[in-house]
Structure 1
Amino acid sequence: MSSRASTFAALGAASALLMVTACTAGTSSGTTSSPGSAVPAAATTTDPHIGAPPGAEVLARPAVGEPFKLTIDYSNTSALDEFEVTVDEVRCGEPLDPKALAHAADPGTEPPPEEGKQYCVVSMEVRNAGKSEADWSADDAITLNVDDTAYSPTQSDNELAGLYAQYWSDQGKTDPSFGINPGSRSPEHAVVQIPVGDEPTTVWVASGNLLESIDGVEPGYLVQLRTPGQS
């Protein structure tokens, strides 16, 4: 083969190699951006307060099992209620506790969640850290969040949470919503519905009896259900 022909052959081979490399790079890029291999949003967000209500002051970002203090003041009195709250765990997509369902109007029957939703049960421990009897309920003071989408307990969800309170009352543990004395500890549960397949990332716990007061959104605590970068 002539030198000229050899040169053309070498150029042709190089061109073919470049085409194969370009095609391979295109396929790799497509795979990286596919839904199945995408990095979860919760792992890539740079906002440490995602899940808190807009405009709310985030007092701390405790982990599961880490206690934090709620200080509740009232506009019509100088008294303060203080509680130490610990979020012990959040379970989603599992049957509700049969011991709690035994207290339902139709004992043992679990009502179905809304279509496309699943029940999540937020289990907490509440200790009265104040100087007098005080009451607190999670019914209107928390949201369960999937990244920046917040889900609140519905009326029917709160009724289910009440079944847990009745069960624990039978065990001698008064529901904090009925009032507990200084130093006393009681379990508290919230039932929240989120879409099937979603996993909660945080729990927002308002430092008050409600998520919002007449003065605006309450400050609170953003409990982390995942460690940074965990999917």
Structure 2
Amino acid sequence: MSSRGSTFAALGAASALLMVTACAAATSSDTASGPGSAVPAAATTTDPDAGAPPGAEILGRPAVGEPFKLTVGSSDEARPDEFEITVEDVTCGEPLDPEVVAHAAESVGEPTPTPTPEAGKQYCVVALEVLNVGKSEANWSAGDVMTLNVADTAYSQSLADADHAYDYSQYWYSKGKAGPSFGLNPGSKGPDHGVFQIPADEEPTTVWVASGTSFEGFDGPEPGYLVQLDPAG
């Protein structure tokens, strides 16, 4: 999933007698600095920082499937929590995993309504793999520090979305794959999921993952990684 001249004035009659080489040199000069020599940036490029909180330090721009290291401060400054995070997949426009929904219904012992997004919205599920590369057991939850973005518009989990993400964690725990919200020992890994709702006619472009325990620190937004998606992929 990733994001996607010049008109010259006609030469006057007096210029018609200039040598061809001189014309070529003038043309080159016009291309470099003349009026209309470049299309405005907004029409040809995408802001590489779009999706990151304004003012946040971007630690990297990994692609889907490319791991990145997240260091999260803890009470033990000598042993900060360290994780290797990989965004493995982003699925939009489909119902939530029916096995996850069924497991959630079984856990409460009664039928539950099939989850449906808000009117005009679609579900997007971000699947991650989290490896503890630190030196002590650590907990981490993607929903606390992650947004799914459409250009420069950031979508966070609602309370209902967070409940669905918790259902994914419980489901995979029942399959013997404990995620980071349950705590991971050094060298252990597990799945994590974020559930988001974005407009039904949009495609996400990036995922922002902050390096703190929240989006905002004492001095402004926490630094983080801007994971690049390919809408056409």
Residue number among 196, 199, 203 corresponding to 1:199 in the alignment:
203
AA in 2 matched with 1:189: H
Instruction: Work out the percentage of aligned pairs sharing the same amino acid.
Output: 64
1:62 aligned partner, one-letter code = P
How much does 1:131 deviate? Answer: 0.7
Query: 2:54 is matched with which residue?
Result: 54
Instruction: Tell me which moved more, 192-201 or 66-75.
Output: 66-75
Post-superposition shift, 1:173? 1.0
Alignment pair present for 1:153 and 2:157 = yes
- Segments ≥4 residues shifted beyond 6 Å: none
Structure 1 regions of 5+ residues with no counterpart? Answer: 1-40
1:108 offset after TM fit, Å? 7.0
How do residues 115-194 of structure 1 correspond to structure 2 at under 5 angstroms?
115-194=119-198
* Count of residue pairs the alignment pairs up: 189
What's 1:31 paired with? none
Look at both structures and tell me which one has the larger radius of gyration over its CA atoms: 1
Q: Does 1:95 align with 2:99?
A: no
Tell me the SS of whatever aligns to 2:144.
Answer: coil
Tell me by how many angstroms 1:65 deviates: 0.2
Instruction: Determine the C-alpha separation between the residues in 2 that align with 1:43 and 1:220.
Output: 27
- Report the equivalent of 2:225: 221
The match for 1:74 is 74
Counterpart amino acid of 2:156?
Answer: S
Query: Matches of 1:46 and 1:147 in 2, distance apart?
Result: 8
The CA RMSD measured in Å over matched residues stands at: 2.2
Question: Residue 107 and residue 90 in structure 1: after superposition, are their counterparts in 2 closer, same or farther (change >3 A)?
Answer: farther
Please give the alpha-carbon distance, in whole angstroms, between the structure 2 residues aligned to 1:42 and 1:166: 44
Which whole-Å CA distance do the structure 2 matches of 1:117 and 1:176 have between them? 28
Query: Per the alignment, in what secondary structure is the counterpart of residue 198 of structure 1?
Result: coil
1:1-57 Cα shifts (integer Å, max 9, x gaps): xxxxxxxxxxxxxxxxxxxxxxxxxxxxxxxxxxxxxxxx99943421111110000
AA of the residue aligned to 2:101: L
The CA distance in 2 between the partners of 1:42 and 1:141, in whole Å, is: 29
TM-score, structure 1 normalization:
0.76
Q: 1:184-219 CA deviation, whole Å, 9 max, x = no partner?
A: 110000000000110000000001221112332100
Distance 1:100 1:195 in 2: 23
Name the SS for the 2:91 alignment partner.
Answer: strand
